């Protein structure tokens, strides 16, 4: 996986960037991660859920999974020659009782500088 992450790769949930123009639409890109909490952490998280409040074990799992899915999506966009992603979204679902799927998806694009209005 590439060491460069979303910090050096422009991504927006909007359809465009304010400072640049989409010159080429390269199509859909996505990154998928399926994770399991594991039995020991799952039991601890279950007890925490009974007590109420934030279940930090699940929060960390979801945050890490989203970052991983985002990095995979960026890697796929770079393979297409993209230099940005627009219309980015996350989706998630449970697979059985032990697995969580996180998907990051968007449209890979190439950008050019926005020309000044005359």
For residue 52, what are its two tokens?
């109420």
111: confidence class by pLDDT, cuts 50, 70, 90 = very high
Highest mean pLDDT among 3-12, 42-51, 73-82: 73-82
Mean per-residue pLDDT, 91-109:
90
For residue 113, what are its two tokens?
């500088």
Kindly give the interhelix angle for 39-51 and 56-79, rounded to the nearest 10 degrees.
130
Q: What is the CATH number of domain 6-113?
A: 3.30.110.70
pLDDT value for 1: 39
What pTM was computed for the model? Answer: 0.79
């Amino acid at each position: 996986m590439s060491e460069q992450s979303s910090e050096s790769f422009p991504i927006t949930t909007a359809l465009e960037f304010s400072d640049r123009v989409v010159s080429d639409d390269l199509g859909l890109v996505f990154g998928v991660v399926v994770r399991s909490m594991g039995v020991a952490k799952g039991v601890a998280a279950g007890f925490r859920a009974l007590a109420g409040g934030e279940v930090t074990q699940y929060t960390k799992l979801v945050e890490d999974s989203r970052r991983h899915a985002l990095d995979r999506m960026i890697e796929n966009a770079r393979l297409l020659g993209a230099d940005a992603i627009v219309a980015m979204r996350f989706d998630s679902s449970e697979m059985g009782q032990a697995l969580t799927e996180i998907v990051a998806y968007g449209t890979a694009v190439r950008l050019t500088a926005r020309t000044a209005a005359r």
